[in-house]
Amino acid sequence: MRLRLAGAVLLMAAAYYVYLPLPSGVSEPWKLMLLDALFRSFMQASDVAHALGMCHRIHLLNHVVSWVEEIEARSCPAVHVTDSTLGGVPTRVFQPKGGKQLKRGIIYFHGGGWALCSGRMRSYDLLCRKMAEDLDSVVMSVDYRLAPEAVFPEQYHDALAASRAFLSAQVLERYSIDPERVCVSGDSAGGNLAAAVAQELSSDDSLTVNFKVQALIYPVLQALDFYTSSYQQNRAVPILYRPVMARFWLQYLGADTSLEPLLLANNHSSLDQPAISSSTRSKLDWAALLPAERRKHFRPVVKETGSPGVMGEVPELMDVRAAPLLAEQGVLGRTPKAYVMTCEFDVLRDDGLMYVRRLQDAGVAVTSDHYEDGFHGCMVFAFLPMMSSVGQRSMNNYITWLDQNL
């Protein structure tokens, strides 16, 4: 009887920890709750280890991710898989066997807040294998350096170096890639890097080969407004919480994480910040850039006075290489045809939707692929054991778009 009672109490405690009120429209809420409980456990354990001085919180998280998710490069009947380097950056290469003599080419940047994850993770390995096989494409998944050891612009420089090497005649010839059918892509922080790289290289007239398309998966594109309508609507929706995104930004930019409350209050982008011009503010004015069905009842939060020292301490907040949404219209207009995936229950939803609008205004052909039941990171959960319906749908639609446009 005592064992049964103890078991019942433990079960109730576990259910209490796992349960989280979620919006009614989110896909398969219980799967998301379980996933969130797992992530929260790891995050809390890493915070404790960090507070005790045992290790940096990011190191513990990455150790767990490596232990659970990372797999060796193993070929299969349809795809040859090897670990190599691209522009000096570690890269996992997926080459389809057979098919056409000239292949499509895709360079992919994984997500993880510029601090976590790897192209060697099982979820990214499976995604790139499927892309290689379904698209008859050579896929190169780049392992750029991560925070806290590397901070901006080092991740960007790695992505740029790998992309330049990818587009080189030597690499294209070695892997039999059609120079007219090359793509840059990535998810979350990787989508940020893909967008920044596309902007930089599309403006480089010295290149003889450039990207035909860019495919951005729920990208993070700005850090000046943590009160967009999606940040307000989804502040308590897993798996990417509002404070976590602010911390990722500070870690990426090499700034003091004690600034997190100031960013979350929008004190860093108050009207008394002379570094932020009216032109810059217009580039992320979601009240003007988003349709009414996305703005809903939310209102902009703009402080009259804030913390004037923040922009001086972290000037990288205004760097377009870190925040591609802030690029000038002329730069955007030179970027390739775009695909932008966004999810309704994601704090980064409006970053992507504003970028869609700004690209369209610059004359770029854009496909906006929005998932009303989607959440941040859903596409990498297209495989077992955490397979989700919206993950499978989003992955299949992403690959279909590439098949039709690359």
What is the residue-wise DSSP string for 58-126? HHHHHHHHHHHHB------SSEEEEEEEETTEEEEEEEESSS-SSEEEEEEE--STTTS--TTBHHHHH
Cα–Cα distance for residue pair 192/113, rounded to 1 Å:
10
CA distances from 101 to 80, 295, 331 (A): 15, 48, 34
Is residue 47 annotated as a catalytic residue, yes or no? no
Catalytic position from the list 123, 188, 269, 270: 188
Residue 273 per-residue DSSP state: -
- Clarify whether 143 is annotated catalytic: no
* 254 burial type by CB count under 10 A (0-12 exposed, 13-18 middle, 19+ buried): middle
Asked whether the beta carbons of 322 and 195 are under 8 A apart, the reply is no
> For residue 334, what are its two tokens?
């030179």
What number of other Cβ atoms are within 10 A of residue 109's Cβ?
Answer: 32
Catalytic residue among 36, 143, 178, 346: 346
- 403 carries an active-site annotation: no
Instruction: Specify the residue for token string 């000038």.
Output: 328
> Three-state DSSP class for 160?
helix
Sequential DSSP letters for 21-37: ---TTSSSHHHHHHHHH
| Rounded CA separation 321/299 (Å) | 28
Q: Which of 36, 268, 376, 394 is catalytic?
A: 376
Q: Which residues are catalytic?
A: 188, 346, 376
